[in-house]
Chains A and B, each alone.
Chain A
Amino acid sequence: MPGIRAAAVLLLLAVAAPAWAQDANAGKAVYERKCLLCHGEKGDGKGPSAELLLPKPRDFTRGLYKIRSTANKTPTDQDLFRIITEGMPGTSMPAWAVLPEKDRHNLVAYLKSFAPEVFKEAPKKLELPKEVSSSEASIKRGKEMFEAIECHKCHGTEGRGDGPSRPELKDEWGHPVAPANLTKRWTFRGGRARTEIATRLANGVLGTPMPAFLEAVEKPEDIWHLTNYIVSLGPDSPQPATLVTVSAVNEVIPDDPGADFWKKIAQSNILLEGQVIVDPRNFNPAIDLVSVRAVYNDKEIAFHLTWDDPAESKGDGKATFPDAIALQFAPQQPTGTERPYFLMGDATDGVYLLRWEQGTGVTEVSAHGPTKLAPIQGGEAAGKAVFKNGQYALVMKRPLVATGAERPTFRTGVFTPVAFQAWDGGAGETGPKMSLTSWYYLRLEEPQSNRKFVIPPVVALLTFAVLGMIVRAARSRAIQ
Chain B
Amino acid sequence: MRKTFVALTALTLVGSAAMFVAGPRLVGAQGGGTVEVDVKYNGAPVVEKLKVNKDVEKCGSEATIEKVVVGSNKGLANAVASAPNAKGSTTAKKAVVDQHGCKFVPHVTVMTPGELELKNSDDILHNIHTYSTANPAINKAQPKFKKTMTEKFEKPEMIKLTCDVHSWMLGWVAVVPGVAAVTDANGAAKLENVPAGKQKIEVWHETLGKQEKDVDVKAGQTTKVTFEMKGK
Interface residues of A (CB under 8 A from B): 64, 72-73, 148-150, 153-154, 164-165, 168-170, 172, 204, 206, 209-213, 215-218
Interfacial chain B residues near A64, Cβ < 8 Å = 137
Please tell me if the beta carbons of A149 and B125 are within 8 angstroms of each other in the complex: yes
Q: How far is the CA of A168 from the CA of B137 in the complex (A)?
A: 21
Residue of A154, A172, A213, A217 near B165 (CB, 8 A) is A154
Q: Given A165-B167, A170-B167, A72–B136 Cβ distance below 8 Å?
A: yes
* B80 → A minimal CB distance (Å): 24
B53's nearest neighbour on chain A, judged by CB, is A164
Q: How far is the CA of A169 from the CA of B139 in the complex (A)?
A: 14
A-B interface, 10 closest residue pairs, ranked by CB to CB distance from nearest: A209-B164, A168-B167, A150-B125, A164-B54, A216-B141, A211-B127, A211-B141, A149-B143, A211-B139, A213-B141
Interfacial chain B residues near A216, Cβ < 8 Å = 140-143, 146
Interfacial chain B residues near A206, Cβ < 8 Å = 137, 139
A209's nearest neighbour on chain B, judged by CB, is B164
Q: Given A148-B145, A216-B146, A153–B165 Cβ distance below 8 Å?
A: yes
Binary interface profile of B, 159-189, with partner A (CB < 8 Å = 1, else 0)? 0000011110000000000000000000000
Binary interface profile of B, 131-157, with partner A (CB < 8 Å = 1, else 0)? 100001111111111100100000000
Given A149-B125, A172-B131: 4 more A-B contacts, CB < 8 Å: A150-B125, A170-B167, A210-B139, A212-B140
* A407 → B minimal CB distance (Å): 43
* A68 → B minimal CB distance (Å): 12
User: Is B124 interfacial (CB-CB < 8 Å)?
Assistant: yes
* B64 → A minimal CB distance (Å): 16
Interfacial chain A residues near B129, Cβ < 8 Å = 209, 211
Q: How far is the CA of A73 from the CA of B166 in the complex (A)?
A: 24
Interfacial chain A residues near B167, Cβ < 8 Å = 165, 168-170
* A454 → B minimal CB distance (Å): 63
Q: Given A153-B125, A164-B54, A212–B139 Cβ distance below 8 Å?
A: yes
Binary interface profile of B, 53-69, with partner A (CB < 8 Å = 1, else 0)? 11000000000000000
Interfacial chain B residues near A72, Cβ < 8 Å = 136
Q: Given A73-B136, A164-B53, A149–B165 Cβ distance below 8 Å?
A: no
Please tell me if the beta carbons of A149 and B136 are within 8 angstroms of each other in the complex: no
Can you name 14 A-B pairs with beta carbons within 8 Å? Answer: A64-B137, A73-B137, A148-B144, A154-B165, A164-B53, A169-B167, A204-B139, A209-B127, A209-B164, A211-B127, A211-B128, A211-B129, A211-B141, A216-B142
Q: How far is the CA of A204 from the CA of B164 in the complex (A)?
A: 13
Interfacial chain B residues near A165, Cβ < 8 Å = 54, 164-167
Q: How far is the CA of A168 from the CA of B52 in the complex (A)?
A: 11
Please tell me if the beta carbons of B149 and A215 are within 8 angstroms of each other in the complex: yes
Q: How far is the CA of A64 from the CA of B131 in the complex (A)?
A: 12
Residue of A149, A153, A217 near B54 (CB, 8 A) is A153
Interfacial chain A residues near B144, Cβ < 8 Å = 148, 150
Q: Tally B residues with Cβ within 8 Å of A.
A: 24
Please tell me if the beta carbons of B166 and A215 are within 8 angstroms of each other in the complex: no
A152's nearest neighbour on chain B, judged by CB, is B125
Interfacial chain A residues near B146, Cβ < 8 Å = 215-216
Q: How far is the CA of A149 from the CA of B127 in the complex (A)?
A: 11
Interfacial chain A residues near B124, Cβ < 8 Å = 150
Q: How far is the CA of A211 from the CA of B129 in the complex (A)?
A: 8
* A156 → B minimal CB distance (Å): 12
Interfacial chain B residues near A153, Cβ < 8 Å = 54, 125, 165
* A171 → B minimal CB distance (Å): 10
The interface centre, meaning the residue of B53, B125, B131, B146 with most chain A CB atoms within 10 A of its CB, is: B125
Interfacial chain B residues near A212, Cβ < 8 Å = 138-141
Interfacial chain B residues near A73, Cβ < 8 Å = 136-137
A179's nearest neighbour on chain B, judged by CB, is B164
Q: How far is the CA of A209 from the CA of B136 in the complex (A)?
A: 16
Q: How far is the CA of A154 from the CA of B144 in the complex (A)?
A: 16
Q: How far is the CA of A165 from the CA of B52 in the complex (A)?
A: 10
Residue of B139, B140, B145, B164 near A215 (CB, 8 A) is B140
B131's nearest neighbour on chain A, judged by CB, is A172
Please tell me if the beta carbons of A218 and B166 are within 8 angstroms of each other in the complex: no
* B71 → A minimal CB distance (Å): 30
Interfacial chain B residues near A172, Cβ < 8 Å = 131
Interfacial chain B residues near A164, Cβ < 8 Å = 53-54
Interfacial chain B residues near A204, Cβ < 8 Å = 139-141
Please tell me if the beta carbons of A211 and B143 are within 8 angstroms of each other in the complex: no
The interface centre, meaning the residue of B131, B139, B145 with most chain A CB atoms within 10 A of its CB, is: B139
Interfacial chain A residues near B143, Cβ < 8 Å = 148-150, 216-217
Interfacial chain A residues near B131, Cβ < 8 Å = 172
Q: How far is the CA of A72 from the CA of B164 in the complex (A)?
A: 20
* B147 → A minimal CB distance (Å): 12
B166's nearest neighbour on chain A, judged by CB, is A165
Interfacial chain A residues near B138, Cβ < 8 Å = 212
Q: How far is the CA of A172 from the CA of B160 in the complex (A)?
A: 12
Residue of B53, B139, B149 near A209 (CB, 8 A) is B139
The interface centre, meaning the residue of A149, A170, A210, A211 with most chain B CB atoms within 10 A of its CB, is: A211
Q: How far is the CA of A216 from the CA of B125 in the complex (A)?
A: 10
Please tell me if the beta carbons of B53 and A149 are within 8 angstroms of each other in the complex: no
Q: How far is the CA of A218 from the CA of B166 in the complex (A)?
A: 23
A168's nearest neighbour on chain B, judged by CB, is B167
Please tell me if the beta carbons of A211 and B140 are within 8 angstroms of each other in the complex: yes
Interfacial chain A residues near B165, Cβ < 8 Å = 150, 153-154, 165, 209
B138's nearest neighbour on chain A, judged by CB, is A212
